[in-house]
Structure 1
Amino acid sequence: MRWVRQAPDTHKKLPPLLWAQEHVQEALRLTATLHRPGLPQHLQIVSPSGWEWASAIAEHLATQAGNCTDVVLLQRPHQRVLRGEGAPGELHRCDESIVVVEVARLLDDDDAWPALREAMTLGSVSQLPGDQQDSPDQVVRIDSARLSAVLVGPESDFRRLREQDGALTTLVPSRVIIRTEVSRDSAGVGTLVGLLRTAAETAGVGAVSAPALAWLIEEEAGRTTRRGHISIQIAESIQCLREARVLQTRGTLNEGSVREAMAHMRARRATAEENHRVRVEFGQLLLHAKGKKQGVVNGLMVYGSGPASYCIPGRITARVSVGREGLVNIEREAKYSGRSFDKGVFLLNGFLRGLFAQESPLGLGATLAFEQSYGKVDGDSATLAEAVALISELSGLPCRQDIGVTGAINQRGELLPVGSINLKVLGWWKTCQQLGRTGTQGVLLPRATVPALQIPRELQAAMERGEFHLWAADTIEDALELLLETPAGLAGAHDGRFEDHSVYAKVARRLGTMSQRLYPKRREPAKRKGAPAKTAVAETATTGTKSPVSTKRSPPKPKGPTKKSAAKKKTTARKKKGGSKTLADAPTDRAAATPSSESSQ
């Protein structure tokens, strides 16, 4: 309140949108100073969406350039307007000037950017043929189109323009980003007070009291992602002031009117959240805020975007079985998941393999699902809840249902920060109020997310009374010990085994049993009677050393008759009958079988 009362009326020479934008002011000053005919100075300004930033930038550039250089705001950057049709166009009239154009307007016409690019690079532009021109194919060039361009727009528009022209960064190397937050100090509060007062005057609201401004600034501080900062995107606050003037037609706007107007605005856009809350109240959305359940964790999911976003918890469940499928993401199989969500499941799979699959493969088939979720799911902030649900199912230990869980993990089991933490904490608090408060309820979040917390006063009072709690964790082991109420049991430094009766020991035992069922050990063939032992060791009595003994087995004798024995029996039988020679009785020596030359003569 003191900073609001002491806020000076400064920045009179600047448009309100450029207050506290020192980098943008410097970039515009350099553009106006370095601009020369034939030596252009182009600039990219990345701005938030929803504001007329181009007009404010053109207004400030005109004061920086002075009377020597004209500043032109291109309202309709279409090809016919820029090039001209049968006559010089807008780019010809902008010779030796600085033009300011919104990127979104350039993207409305596919031929607008090529025309502007031609003037930016060549200092000239070709003119479109007119109706009265003798030769329609004749190209008329206008040489006087030497200009500097300032492109303004959100990052998404610049991304689309880069897809259309890959040389955009080379053509316009200078770039500056407009800030959306200011520090929560006397200077930052003074800037925001000036913005609100100027906007109120422009909108015809009139004077606004200091308590009303202080309350609006506190509301803006709750929308930032960092503690100690205030958002300067005040479109909602300006609309609130306009509606407050309808409620209070006379005098200076007071805090009560502003609060009432904001409550009406939020009630009008809260229809989707109310429908979700009704389902929780009547038990149509299956949730529990007390007790314990195995393989079930309460995740915190954010719906919508912008000021209308809200958080409704949802159950994340896991089931396991013997199999080779690994982790099956049901959301992905149903084509409901985004890339960030899928990446989180892959990281969880890497964490499990690194921890439990060093000596044997994971004989695991597990499924993970968001229950009663029928729309697009994205982001990795549910990875911690999925990991806890899976480990709870594997270990057989039930998980606490009075704690909402949010957080991302990496392959080492370290917790990573997540977004929208204020919405998630407030959403779980409202759910606990619906389902009944127990005094043990709260939210588990990564410690790296703590600086982004902006707790409402009502919730702060509940925490001071011990009705609600916040727990910060650094690793997944911290989360498991809180949610499963059992020591996690990290692996020993020497033997690599987990501590007895710990969470990880139970998981390793279960995974080992499942792996043995899926990949059983091969049994050796049964030993026949009388066969020598497969291995034997001879030990000398003098030295006590062991020397291996050959264990090679001789081939077994055949049981039935062989070919040789059968032939021998036939020969013997024939000799007894007639003594005739057979092929078996013929001599095998060649010298004995062939008569000599002497005997033949």
Structure 2
Amino acid sequence: MNNNIELKWNELKLSYQPSDFSFTTTEELPGSNGIIGQEGALNALELALKINAKGYNIYICGESGVGKLSSIMNFLEKQTLSRNIPQDIIYVYNFISPEAPRLILLKAGNGKKFKQDMDEFIQFIIHELPIIFQSTEVNKKRQLILDKLEDEKEKFLMELHEKAQLLDILVKSTKEGIGFAPLGKDGDIITKEAYNNLSKKQKDSLDNKLSQLNTLADEMTERINLKEKVCLQELDDMEKEIFLNEVGAIFIHLKGKYKLSSQIINYLDDVCDDLLEHLNLFGSEAEENNKEIKQLFPWTGVNEVKKLVKKYRVNLLVDHSGLQGAPVITDSDLDQYTLTGKVLLDTELNMLHSDFTNIRSGLFHQANGGYLILRAQNIIENLDRWHAIKKMLKTGHIYVENPEDLNLATASSIKPEPLKSNIKLILLGSYTLYHALYNYDDDFKKLFKIRIDFDDQIDNTKEQIYSISNMIKVICDKESLPPVNLKGVLKIAEYGSRITQNPKKLPANIGTLLDLVRESSIYSKEIIDEESISEAIKQREKIKAKAERKIDEKISNNVYLIDTQGAKIGQVNGLAVYTIDEYMFGRPVKITATTYKGKLGIIDIEKESGLGGDIHTKGIQIITGFLGHHFAQDMPLSLNCNICFEQSYSGIDGDSASSVELYAILSSLSHVPIKQNIAATGSVNQYGQIQPIGGVNEKIEGFFKVCKERGLKGDEGVIIPIQNKKELMLEDEIVDAVKMNLFHIYAISTIEEGMTIITGYEYSQIAKCVQEKLIKFNQQRH
């Protein structure tokens, strides 16, 4: 056969040799992680990250499964190390407007410290301050003030008694206060009857004395009231002095510790003022009141001090104490966190309420000051999330959500102070989704001004294989897997090229290759070699090959009629590729053509039965064009032709079999039989030029497998387009079969070359027979 058409064994697989590399196992490599083969996208991303203007968020395009998320995470984590760590976020009680909790930002790590400091302070207020206020020393000071007041009262009463005694009036103390009773000459109290018997002059004299005493009593009462106020003020001043001595020292310490935060200084002043207003809760009287309330309402568990100090708690929303550089947050925690954060509700006495301690962070809070990476599909599937993103980007603030689906009229809701946002948002999604958002959402193009394209394939170069080998080294060390030898690495790269269907390319999703290393470790002990990699690939395909096995059974049992020997007119073995999820395999399919006189032209049975797609129909029209151009220049093209994919019961589309269909038609018209030991694939144009197709490796391997099962005779082979030659990455057993001249692969450029190989006749002879038959059909028609 023409040496320029039949391929040699060393043309069937483009792969590197061990001599191209300087290591024998991955154990010898330093190991590294990073993004491989996306230099253009990374350069664009690096530039995009430097633009801080509004709206310059990023949409990264690429099909799913190219490892974008992990790659971008690794890239950003390195970039962010040089950036400032954002501030911690806390919420505290708002003493002026409790329904609007105050937001405070602190240097990273200080949020946690301040929360601990305030927790310790609260414990001091609950447990130690009441003891101090009720200590023996304080009680002595309190009693001295009270004793002083009592002495003043006694002094005033003695003065009143002395004055009354001079006027012969008795002073009486009653429940209603101080009363007076006049005395007679015998020293007894004058009764009402005796008073009525007095003369007017005596009565006037007695009334005058009582009036003087009442006036004096009123003056003394005012003086006592004034003394009591002074006493209360002294008690208050004493308690404040104790408070300032004990608590003031703590505040002085805290203010010094957080002197760079004016917000904290102001907040501590508010806490101090609030405590001063509630000092009455720390005396013995307050404790007695608490006991009485508990006795009346035991289920309330009232503790006024604990209720008071709850206001002094710190809600640490975001803690950056363990962070290095800016945060890089992904939506992997989206089920646990909302984007905007939320406010939880508590139930107290069967009433819903909330306060600042119930505020919870969202991914926006976690990512503020850094980067948030979200998968666009996850966001668009929940429009509330998409609206939240747009609100944050448009307003420049993060608003915490209030509880949803509740009648807030019956709940005590809060409105936390919003946080100014500083987030570079990165969306990962498909090209299709990008164009949908760009065309149908006016806000999208304003908020995501940067689009970066990630390739789903990378170049298969020695440098990339070195990079992949270093990544393999990392996971082997991390997961305690055996190292991979060089032949094993090259087998992995070969598998990657099979995935891309291009020997010069590898999948950008390196994860699927790393998974192959993990799976191969099952079949190895001290080292992962080529054999263990091959076994892992075999097991991968075996799991997915259920449909393939069913087709093989039908071919073996002659349910599907496939001939691999002999020659038949109008019958040819085409090659089909089946795709089940991500698994592809090829098998031969019988294509037949019948021709007879008439004027209907080529009838596509697949189309007539509703199984043919538009591209397949286009291929049939191209065949008609070929026949007209080559054989009907001087006469009408008069024939009826039926073309059929035999035993095909599902949809057929594409034009990769158009050359094969043409072989069958030319065979039927010329009565030149086609070799059944040769299968063919390839698209054809109207001038007879063969065009490339997809799945070339799977198609060749599919026919080889059928021939191998029946026993190779040495004359079997496959015809492919010459353009697909560069895509060949065939299995080793096919390469060996070609090397031993047991199987043949032909790469052709024209229909003439293909017809000659598949029939064994020169094309000129076949064309002459076709021409004669078409002339005969045309003459019979007229």
TM-score by length of 2: 0.57
1:297 aligns to what? 572
Q: Does 1:74 align with 2:331?
A: yes
Q: Does 1:507 align with 2:767?
A: no
Deviation at 1:447, TM superposition (A): 0.8
Counterparts of 1:411 and 1:386, CA distance in 2: 13
Q: Which amino acid aligns with 2:745?
A: L
Closer/same/farther in 2, CA of residues 473 and 246 from structure 1, 3 Å limit = closer
Counterparts of 1:114 and 1:457, CA distance in 2: 55
Matches within 5 A, 1:453-532: 453-489=728-764, 502-518=765-781, 520=782
Counterparts of 1:466 and 1:217, CA distance in 2: 27
Q: Equivalent of 1:288, from 552, 559, 563?
A: 563
2:117 aligns to what? none
CA contact (8 A) 1:180 1:232 kept: yes
Q: Equivalent of 2:77, from 56, 62, 76?
A: 62
CA contact (8 A) 1:319 1:390 kept: yes
2:247 aligns to what? none
Deviation at 1:163, TM superposition (A): 7.0
1:388 aligns to what? 663
Residues 557-597 of structure 1, C-alpha deviation per residue, up to 9 Å, x if partnerless?
xxxxxxxxxxxxxxxxxxxxxxxxxxxxxxxxxxxxxxxxx
1:28 aligns to what? 45
Which stretch shifts more, 431-440 or 155-164? 155-164
3-state SS of the aligned residue for 1:486?
A: coil
CA contact (8 A) 2:66 2:507 kept: no
Q: Indicate the RMSD between aligned Cα atoms, in angstroms.
A: 3.6
CA contact (8 A) 1:332 1:342 kept: yes
Counterparts of 1:41 and 1:135, CA distance in 2: 42
Residues 261-284 of structure 1, C-alpha deviation per residue, up to 9 Å, x if partnerless?
443333333332222222222222
Residues 70-119 of structure 1, C-alpha deviation per residue, up to 9 Å, x if partnerless?
543234669x9345667896547755643211122123224433443454
Q: Which amino acid aligns with 2:385?
A: A
Residues 331-362 of structure 1, C-alpha deviation per residue, up to 9 Å, x if partnerless?
22223233332332232233233333444433
Deviation at 1:312, TM superposition (A): 1.0
Which stretch shifts more, 480-489 or 427-436? 480-489
Unaligned ranges ≥5, structure 2: 1-17, 85-325, 344-358
Counterparts of 2:633 and 2:442, CA distance in 1: 47
Counterparts of 1:210 and 1:196, CA distance in 2: 11
3-state SS of the aligned residue for 1:5?
A: coil
CA contact (8 A) 1:120 1:146 kept: no
Q: Equivalent of 1:215, from 472, 491, 505?
A: 491
CA contact (8 A) 1:205 1:242 kept: yes
Which stretch shifts more, 310-319 or 451-460? 451-460
Q: Equivalent of 2:466, from 186, 190, 199?
A: 190
Q: Which amino acid aligns with 2:75?
A: H
Closer/same/farther in 2, CA of residues 266 and 227 from structure 1, 3 Å limit = closer
Residues 42-61 of structure 1, C-alpha deviation per residue, up to 9 Å, x if partnerless?
33323443465324413422
Counterparts of 2:522 and 2:46, CA distance in 1: 41
CA contact (8 A) 1:125 1:141 kept: no
1:452 aligns to what? 727
3-state SS of the aligned residue for 1:205?
A: coil
Residues 125-144 of structure 1, C-alpha deviation per residue, up to 9 Å, x if partnerless?
888775576799xx999794
CA contact (8 A) 1:77 1:112 kept: no
Counterparts of 1:462 and 1:447, CA distance in 2: 20
Q: Which amino acid aligns with 2:542?
A: A
3-state SS of the aligned residue for 1:309?
A: strand
Counterparts of 1:169 and 1:504, CA distance in 2: 59
Counterparts of 2:380 and 2:465, CA distance in 1: 37
CA contact (8 A) 1:72 1:94 kept: yes
Closer/same/farther in 2, CA of residues 94 and 436 from structure 1, 3 Å limit = closer
Structure whose residues are more often helix by fraction: 2
Closer/same/farther in 2, CA of residues 475 and 52 from structure 1, 3 Å limit = closer
Matches within 5 A, 1:119-198: 119-120=392-393, 123=396, 130=403, 131=406, 144-145=420-421, 147-155=423-431, 157-158=433-434, 161=437, 165=441, 171-185=448-462, 187-198=463-474
Deviation at 1:289, TM superposition (A): 1.4
Closer/same/farther in 2, CA of residues 475 and 255 from structure 1, 3 Å limit = closer
Counterparts of 1:29 and 1:270, CA distance in 2: 43
Residues 268-316 of structure 1, C-alpha deviation per residue, up to 9 Å, x if partnerless?
3333222222222222211111221111110011112466321110111
Residues 416-469 of structure 1, C-alpha deviation per residue, up to 9 Å, x if partnerless?
111111111111111112233232221111111111112333222221222111
Deviation at 1:234, TM superposition (A): 4.7
Counterparts of 2:74 and 2:43, CA distance in 1: 15
Q: Does 1:226 align with 2:226?
A: no
Closer/same/farther in 2, CA of residues 72 and 480 from structure 1, 3 Å limit = same
CA contact (8 A) 2:31 2:474 kept: no
Closer/same/farther in 2, CA of residues 166 and 375 from structure 1, 3 Å limit = farther
Deviation at 1:210, TM superposition (A): 4.0
CA contact (8 A) 2:682 2:721 kept: yes
Deviation at 1:174, TM superposition (A): 2.6
Q: Which amino acid aligns with 1:149?
A: L
Q: Which amino acid aligns with 2:48?
A: T
Matches within 5 A, 1:38-437: 38-50=53-65, 53-65=68-80, 66-68=82-84, 70-75=327-332, 81-82=338-339, 90-91=363-364, 97-117=370-390, 119-120=392-393, 123=396, 130=403, 131=406, 144-145=420-421, 147-155=423-431, 157-158=433-434, 161=437, 165=441, 171-185=448-462, 187-231=463-507, 233-248=509-524, 251-305=526-580, 308-437=583-712
Counterparts of 1:366 and 1:482, CA distance in 2: 23
Closer/same/farther in 2, CA of residues 365 and 112 from structure 1, 3 Å limit = farther
Residues matched between the structures, number: 498
Counterparts of 1:318 and 1:167, CA distance in 2: 57
2:23 aligns to what? 5
Deviation at 1:482, TM superposition (A): 2.2
Q: Which amino acid aligns with 1:57?
A: I
3-state SS of the aligned residue for 1:404?
A: strand
Deviation at 1:233, TM superposition (A): 4.0
Q: Which amino acid aligns with 1:336?
A: L
Counterparts of 1:104 and 1:380, CA distance in 2: 33
Counterparts of 1:142 and 1:356, CA distance in 2: 79
2:146 aligns to what? none
Q: Which amino acid aligns with 1:28?
A: L
CA contact (8 A) 1:320 1:393 kept: yes
CA contact (8 A) 1:92 1:144 kept: no
Unaligned ranges ≥5, structure 1: 490-501, 521-601
3-state SS of the aligned residue for 2:425?
A: strand
TM-score by length of 1: 0.72
Identical residues among aligned pairs (%): 23
Counterparts of 2:477 and 2:431, CA distance in 1: 31
2:296 aligns to what? none
Which stretch shifts more, 257-266 or 478-487? 257-266
Closer/same/farther in 2, CA of residues 11 and 378 from structure 1, 3 Å limit = farther
Closer/same/farther in 2, CA of residues 203 and 261 from structure 1, 3 Å limit = same
Counterparts of 2:574 and 2:416, CA distance in 1: 65
Q: Which amino acid aligns with 1:272?
A: A
Closer/same/farther in 2, CA of residues 425 and 325 from structure 1, 3 Å limit = same
Q: Does 1:19 align with 2:8?
A: no
Counterparts of 1:376 and 1:238, CA distance in 2: 36
Deviation at 1:224, TM superposition (A): 3.6
1:440 aligns to what? 715
Residues 495-521 of structure 1, C-alpha deviation per residue, up to 9 Å, x if partnerless?
xxxxxxx33333233233333444x3x
Q: Which amino acid aligns with 1:99?
A: L
